[in-house]
Structure 1
Amino acid sequence: MKDILGQAIHDYYYKKPEHQLWINNQYGPSEEMPVEAYFREEDDMPDIEWLALNECRGDILDIGAGAGGHVLLLQERGFDATALEISDLASAVMKARGVNKVITADIFEYQEQQYDTLLLLMNGIGLTGTLLKLKTFLQHAKQLLKPGGQLLFDSSDIAYLYEGKLPENGPYYGEIQYQYQYNQQKSDWFPWLYIDEQTLTGIASEMGYDMEVLLEDEFKQYLVRLTLK
């Protein structure tokens, strides 16, 4: 799969001629993704991200760390924070920006160390793609958590996209297919997951976790903490 997002992040950081990053989807017109969002400073982060960073504790693994904005803030606060990112280009940008610990790996294959906090922001849990793969991830996360450890992530209920007519058959309505488009290049289509609170509560319990909703906004975006029962 072409590393379209990593290329966009790399070009932005090194001030190469910029192109627009687009996200194609299955439900409507293409949406522009502003690359500068991956380089947000603390003052520009939404409340959900602020709260998540304030709830971090101990050794932290930021999964799908992008351009490293969250890890840099955690480093400044004195935390032992590690960035995990599947993109070689995004990983190179994080190292250039001063992230001390960068691991380039697929989270489903990573099992080198345990952490007090596993962090997935900007709907990072979406990387699981489907409800089934979310269960696989939550099982895998048990190997990565120290005793008493926590998972912190945000997601949202996207039922509004269907204007009250949720599909009765087929996959779960929050399992979306996306494609990145940048500088006349397109990625393969890939699955991305948005999960409503009720569905997540059931899956978390099934997989042996307690779930606490830390914040929910008017757009049905929410932040949760999962801890092992």
Structure 2
Amino acid sequence: MKDLMGQAIWDYYYDNSPENLQTETSISELDDLPIDYLFRNFNEMNLLEQKALELTKGKALDIGSGAGSHSLFLQNEKNLEVTALDISPKSIEISKIRGVQNAICANILDFNPIKKFDTILLLMNGTGIFETIDKMDVYLKKLHDLLNENGQILIDGTDILYMYEEEDGGFRIPVDHYYGELDYVVHYKNESEEPIKWLYLDFENLKDAAETNGFEVELVLEEGDSYVAKLTRIE
């Protein structure tokens, strides 16, 4: 598997002629993702990220940790015990070099730690890891199993219904799948990864699925079409 995100993070950290990442989806054109954005500090993060980090407590798991910026804030500024988890080997290596004390390269579905967590963090469209509506139960059950009693998940997402709006104010919504199920592709230095399934999820669908899987759900903060939610384990 190519690790273009990790390679870009590696190049930026070592000043090895880094370039911007480019991303695209099945309904959007190429978009630049500046690499320095993945190295931002707390004050440079959006309000949803900041709120989630402020609510994080206890033993924490940062899923999709990237270059480790969220983990470093929790570890160094809030003095929490944090595990950074990402499927990108190079990202995990750079996270360790940047000072993340516990960083692991693994797929969340294959991750089986000895101890459970008080907070699980899923940011930068955290709902994306669910892949599709049909796979949500698999991931939510796994996340439920990783939490201590009364543990919490802090997750952000975006309702992309607006992307289907037409000039007359109506919406041209797909009939064969949920409108937030997209193919997502990363490009870097003239290389491209295979498309992955990535889920942009509205809050109500997240709430319904989470409640079915043993969580109490709270909408913590909204910003435009995006939100951060708290899922508290109750079963």
TM-score of the superposition, structure 1-length normalised?
A: 0.96
Measured in 2, the distance between the counterparts of 1:228 and 1:78 equals: 24
Counterpart code for 1:54: E
Aligned to 2:143: 141
Give CA-to-partner distance per residue, 1:146-191, whole Å, 9 cap, x none.
1110000100100011014242511100011011111111000011
Measured in 2, the distance between the counterparts of 1:104 and 1:168 equals: 35
Give CA-to-partner distance per residue, 1:48-93, whole Å, 9 cap, x none.
1111011011100000100000111111121011101111100010
2:181 to 165, 175, 179: 175
Give me the CA root mean square deviation.
1.1
Kept after mapping to 2: 8 A contact 1:208/1:228: yes
Aligned to 1:99: 100
1:222 maps onto 2:223 in alignment = no
Q: What is the correspondence of 1:104-123 to structure 2 with a 5 Å cutoff? A: 104-112=105-113, 113-123=115-125
Q: Which moved more, 1:101-110 or 1:202-211?
A: 202-211
1:194 maps onto 2:200 in alignment = yes
Deviation at 1:127, TM superposition (A): 1.6
Aligned to 1:46: 46
Gaps of 5+ in 1: none
Aligned to 2:218: 212
Aligned partner of residue 153 in structure 2, secondary structure: strand
Kept after mapping to 2: 8 A contact 1:61/1:119: yes
Measured in 2, the distance between the counterparts of 1:168 and 1:125 equals: 20
Deviation at 1:194, TM superposition (A): 0.7
Deviation at 1:24, TM superposition (A): 2.1
Q: What is the correspondence of 1:60-75 to structure 2 with a 5 Å cutoff? A: 60-75=60-75
Give CA-to-partner distance per residue, 1:6-54, whole Å, 9 cap, x none.
1111111111112231112211321111111110011101111111011
Aligned to 1:160: 162
Q: Which moved more, 1:202-211 or 1:185-194?
A: 202-211
Kept after mapping to 1: 8 A contact 2:144/2:214: no
1:27 maps onto 2:33 in alignment = no
Aligned partner of residue 108 in structure 2, secondary structure: coil
Kept after mapping to 2: 8 A contact 1:111/1:143: no
Aligned partner of residue 31 in structure 1, secondary structure: strand
Aligned to 2:132: 130
In the alignment of these two chains, the number of paired residues is: 228
Kept after mapping to 2: 8 A contact 1:4/1:180: yes
Give CA-to-partner distance per residue, 1:77-125, whole Å, 9 cap, x none.
2101110111110001001100000111110111213100000111122
TM-score of the superposition, structure 2-length normalised?
A: 0.94
Kept after mapping to 1: 8 A contact 2:127/2:201: no
**Runs of at least 4 residues of structure 1 off by over 4 A?**
none
Kept after mapping to 1: 8 A contact 2:59/2:118: yes
Kept after mapping to 2: 8 A contact 1:129/1:192: yes
**Counterparts in 2 of 1:125 and 1:168: CA distance versus 1, 3 Å:** closer
Measured in 1, the distance between the counterparts of 2:199 and 2:37 equals: 20
Measured in 2, the distance between the counterparts of 1:158 and 1:148 equals: 31
Q: Percent identity?
A: 38
